[in-house]
Amino acid sequence: MNFSVLQFPASNCDQDAVHAVRLLGHSARLVWHKDAALGDTDCVIVPGGFSYGDYLRCGAIARFSPVMQAVKQFADNGGLVLGVCNGFQVLTEAGLLPGALIRNRDLQFHCENIFLKTATNDSPFTSQIPAGKILRVPIAHGEGCYFADEETLAKLKANNQILWQYCDATGNLTDTANPNGALQNIAGICNEKRNVAGLMPHPERACEPLLGSDDGKWIFESIFTALKNKTVAQVA
């Protein structure tokens, strides 16, 4: 399977994403933000970092990069897109995912391991995560507080679009376990069509025991399984 990892000026988790995918046995390559075409792609990863210095708002400028037109078309055709951290921010700014990511409520940049509860296995990004397994994954962000208005939150719940929530080591959704104030401890969501997902934590940094956790691999395994099972959307 071919993974395209976007590169914006100041993306910094692009290499990690490529490394993680290759480590897990699939192909990955970097796609420069100015490229108008994605090429042979089965899944797009929008990586973490500080694209455009986080100027104006995180992801606000990156969403207008030429490559994002191709990503939007790829997503409209049902292609799988995963946004991690800044990538999640880019996807919300681009309107490919609902809501917004705002400043952490304590105004601190949080660089630490957190626990994630998978809210549903019904998605190409969560299907292989073992039932009840709490994922230990690192976060590194200053603007990771998920916000959406009441109407949008209700829709997310009704449509089962919340994929991951911050929890404590035993899976409880507590306020203390919430590193940034995100509403309903939301760490990651998907769109209505369930082919685009975003999350603030970094699964690509938790794919080998050497780095402290390989729980992130379950998210990639879910994507690999989904790709094997479906007709892939190709963008020339």
- Give the burial class of 68: count Cβ atoms within 10 A of its Cβ; 0-12 exposed, 13-18 middle, 19 or more buried: buried
Main-chain dihedrals φ then ψ at residue 138, nearest 5 degrees: -85, 150
User: Which among 85, 167, 190, 207 is annotated as catalytic?
Assistant: 85
Cβ count near 228 (within 10 Å): 10
Span near other proteins by CB under 8 A; candidates 5-13, 56-64, 156-164, 168-176 = 56-64
For residue 137, count other CB atoms closer than 10 A to its CB.
26
Q: Which of residues 12-41 bind other proteins (CB under 8 A)?
A: none
In this structure, how many other beta carbons lie within 10 angstroms of the beta carbon of residue 11?
Answer: 25
Residues from 104 through 133 that contact other proteins (CB under 8 A): 104-107
Least distance CB 221 / other proteins (angstroms)? 33
Name which of 18, 213, 225 is nearest 123 in CA terms: 225
Q: Residue 100 CB, nearest distance to other proteins (Å)? A: 5
- Which residues between 140 and 179 bind other proteins (CB under 8 A)? 145, 147-149
204 classed as catalytic: yes
Nearer Cβ to other proteins (32/64)? 64
Tell me the number of residues near other proteins by CB under 8 A. 19
Stretch that binds other proteins, among 52-60, 112-120, 155-163, 211-219 (CB under 8 A): 52-60
Examine residue 232 and tell whether it contacts other proteins (CB under 8 A): no
Per-residue tokens: 42: 């089965």
Beta bridge partners of 139: 112
Say which residues have a Cβ less than 8 Å from residue 129's Cβ, sequence separation at least 6.
118, 121, 135, 218, 219, 222
Among 32, 55, 64, 109, binds other proteins (CB under 8 A): 64
Distance CA 90, CA 185 (A): 20
Contact positions with other proteins (CB under 8 A) in 77-106: 93, 99-100, 102-106
Q: How far is the CB of 148 from other proteins (least distance, A)?
A: 8
β-sheet bridge partners, residue 46? 83
What is the distance, to the nearest Å, from the Cα of residue 39 to the centroid of all Cα atoms in its chain? 21
User: How far apart are CB 146 and other proteins at their closest, in Å?
Assistant: 11
Using alpha carbons, select from 176, 119, 185, 111 the residue that is nearest to residue 146: 185
- Residue closer to other proteins (CB basis): 37 or 56: 56
| CB closer to other proteins out of 29 and 147 | 147
- 110 annotated active-site: no
State the amino acid at position 85 in one-letter form: C
Question: What is the binding site for other proteins (CB under 8 A)?
Answer: 56-57, 60-61, 64, 93, 99-100, 102-107, 145, 147-149, 181
As annotated, the active-site residues are 85, 202, 204
